[in-house]
Structures are given as structure tokens and as C-alpha cells.
Amino acid sequence: MIKKVFWASLGFFLLTLIFLGVYNFAFKNNTSNPIADPEKYAAVQAEKETDIPTSSLAFEVFLNESVLFPKIEEQYLFYYSLRDKTLKHTTIDTKKSDTLFGALPGTVKRVLWSPVSIGALVLIEENQSSLWYYTDFRNQSITPLRKELSRLSWNTLGDGIYYIYTDPATGARSLNTASPRGENWRKLTDLDTNDYFVSTIPQSSQVAFWTHPDGLEESRLESISLTGEGRRLLLSGRYGGDYLWSPNSRSILISSVDTRGGSNPSLGIVDENGESYRDLLVPTFISKVTWSKDNQTIYYALPSAFVSGTTLPNDYFGKPIYTKDTFWKMNLKTGRRERLVPLNEIAQAFDATDLFLSPDETRLFFVDRSTNKLYSINL
């Protein structure tokens, strides 16, 4: 009798192994699917990584409409409604939405909300050309900006903007500042003909600019004072570099790829001077990361591995490629990582972007890039 039980148990064990082997081969190594095993990278992260499942968590669809470019400010959530083609806001608790600015023409490609919530800069594509507009919520006016302006960014006070100006005759570019309507402009520094991103550095009198993230080119991160003085190079040499400052501006996160044209993204960190680089062993993009108020915790979506031959970040944003993300947080001081949602509670594929925390940091929000639905995770 004991022998029969033994052989029956052994047979069941072998059948289980065969089933798991077939499952892994058929699904995890499916070369026809550009999305590989989402745990491939997480499994080989730092030895001190700790996978700590939390209590039962769920994804909540926060709004019943598709949104773009969400931003949270105190009790309000600002967003662009794809359904209504309007700029709206809603209270976090009641979810009662109100229209801030009526229907916009053309296709909205980008929205930059004013830090003081009185208006927004909107990039609109119409008749195969794009143009920035300033929308003022107070008097319901919309002002077109010059077509030579690109890569806009608000200053910290919300009473001015920074932008790249391209000379239509020579193609030469410069970094400038002006009022939100483009008046009283002033050049800060000359640039070359490369495309640049621009961002105000938090809690500082500096503005940063860096070459458009391109996995085939080495990036350059520079800063300059608001008066146009003290231009300096902070960091260079990383392919496809993109950057995100901590709330106190003392640290800078960097997403890049390890080699020219590489398919392995990497997240690192440097100090405010661009020094003391440390690889965080987190293969993700800046668009999938957000800082906590404590300046030492980051929340991030970890994408599935990319197939060999993919050029990042070019192909991810250009084709596009959709990922299947898992969700984590990391203490940068200790290196400890925690999983936010157990794998068995992720019932669908999410390609998370535009991550941000609620004011009390009890919820993590993100937009699913493939559906434009806004989700939240209870923390």
C-alpha cells in the first residue's frame, strides 16, 4: 500500500513538472510576442532586493473616461479628456469633474499645466503642423505662440516659460525665457542644431536642458541660471539619457541604455552636480518613475524585457511597443525594494506612464499607455 502511494505521488509530481515546462516554453519564451517574461529583470536585480508581498491590493479605474497628461495639485486632479477634447479637473474624493477650458481644435499632443493652476500650455497638431497655445482659465482665452518655439517648460512660479527657439533661416537653436504668451522674451544661451528637452530644476534658480533621448547618441545634460549665467555641463556620455530631479533637487535619476543602440534600459542616480553615479539595477524609463516627498523613495513600473535588437528608448516611444509592467518602490538610502502588487493580483497587462502619488502618498496613480485609462493603486 505504501509503495502504491509513493509511486502515485511520484507520477503526479512528474506530470506537474512536465506541465510547468510546457507552460514556460509556450508562454514565457514565445518569440512571436515582443513582451518577454516581466520577471526576467527583477529576478537578477541586486542581491539585497527584497520581494515583500503586501496585503491585498487592487487596481482602480479612477475615471470612466480616457485621459492624457494628468497632474495632481492638492485635492484636484487635472487632465485632458480625450472624449470631450477639453481640459478638466476633478476632486480626488468626490470625482466630480468640471471643465476648465472648452473644446480644443485639432489633436492635442501635449499639455503642461501651470504650477499655479491658472492655465496650461497646449501643443496642438492641426493640418499636419503643430503649434503651442497658452490657454488662460480665468478669462477663457487661447493665445497661439510662435511656430519656432518648442520644448516648453514652466518656471517654478508659473509666471513664465522656458523654451527652445529655432531660427527658421539657419536652424540654429537657443534657450530662451518669456511670459506664458511669449512676450518679453530673453535669450539665455545659444545651442547647436540638436533637439533638446528643457526642465526647471526644483527649488533652485537653475534651468536644465539635455539632448533629446536617443539610444544611438550620447546625451549631454547641462544647466544654466535663470539670468543666463553659469552654464555648465553636468553629465555626458550616456546613450539615450533622460532625467528626473528629486523634489529637493539634490539627486537626479537617469534612464539610459548600456550601449549604443542597446535594448537594456538602466536607471541610475547622481548628485545635483552630476557626480557619484550609482546603478540602481532597475531597467525602466523615467516616464515610469516618480519621487516620494522624502527625497529617498521612488515608485516605479518595471517593464517586461525587450527583445534583442530593439533600440531604446527610440523604439518604445516610436513604434510603439507596449510592455507588461510590475509595480515596485525602492528606498534609495538602503536599497530595499518592495513589490506593490502581488503578481496574482495583476490580471491584465499595464504599460504604465505618467506616474504620480496622491498628496498624502496613500495612492499611486498611472495612465495605462495602451488604453489611456487612469488607474490608482492603494499603498
> Which is nearest to 288 in space by CA: 362, 343, 358, 365?
365
What is the percentage of the chain residues whose pLDDT exceeds 90? 79
pLDDT (0 to 100) of residue 47? 35
Residue range 162-176, pLDDT digits in tens: 999 999 999 999 999
Residue range 78-97, pLDDT digits in tens: 999 999 999 999 999 889 99
Quick one: residue 333, left, alpha or beta (phi over 0 = left, psi -120 to 50 = alpha)? alpha
Contact 265, 280 (CB under 8 A): no
Q: Is the pLDDT of residue 243 over 50?
A: yes
pLDDT (0 to 100) of residue 320? 85
User: pLDDT: is 64 or 2 the higher one?
Assistant: 64
Task: pLDDT band for 371, please (50, 70, 90 cuts).
Answer: very high
Domains of the chain: residue spans and CATH: 33-378 (2.130.10.10)
- Most confident option among 36-40, 54-58, 90-94, 311-315: 311-315
Residue range 135-159, pLDDT digits in tens: 999 999 999 999 999 999 999 999 9
pLDDT (0 to 100) of residue 103? 83
Task: pLDDT band for 25, please (50, 70, 90 cuts).
Answer: very low
pLDDT (0 to 100) of residue 157? 92
SS3 state at 231:
coil
**Sheet of strand 289-291: strand arrangement:** 289-291, 297-302, 326-331, 337-339
Mean pLDDT of the chain: 87
